[in-house]
Amino acid sequence: MNKLTEAETERLVIMAEECAEVIQVIGKILRHGWLGTDYKGICYDNRVKLEYEISHQIHAYDLMVENGDLNTNNIQEEFDRKKQSIKPYLRHQTKLKEPSRS
């Protein structure tokens, strides 16, 4: 029906799962801050959890690029456009440095 191969579907599923996990950690940070506590009172670092999940998301991105699902030129062009278009809406970002995209 959608004419996706099993491999394409699998890569999209991986990306969707990783995006959901990043969103989940962001929700925990917004509720509990950078440091959280589990139900047993054990402290954990939500920043590290976010870094961990973003690394998985980047891996999913790389997998899609390596297999030709995504065009890095289009992504870079849109990245550059977004970087400019968001500026009027940023109220609290005092350090607007060039992000590293490798």
The β-bridge relationship of strands 43-45 and 35-37 is antiparallel
Domain boundaries, the chain: 22-67
Tokens read off for 73:
């030129």
The yes-or-no verdict on residue 38 having pLDDT over 80 is no
Q: What is the pLDDT of residue 41?
A: 73
Higher-pLDDT residue of 63 and 97 is 63
Give per-residue pLDDT as tens, 12-33: 999 999 999 999 999 999 998 9
Give per-residue pLDDT as tens, 64-81: 999 999 999 999 999 999
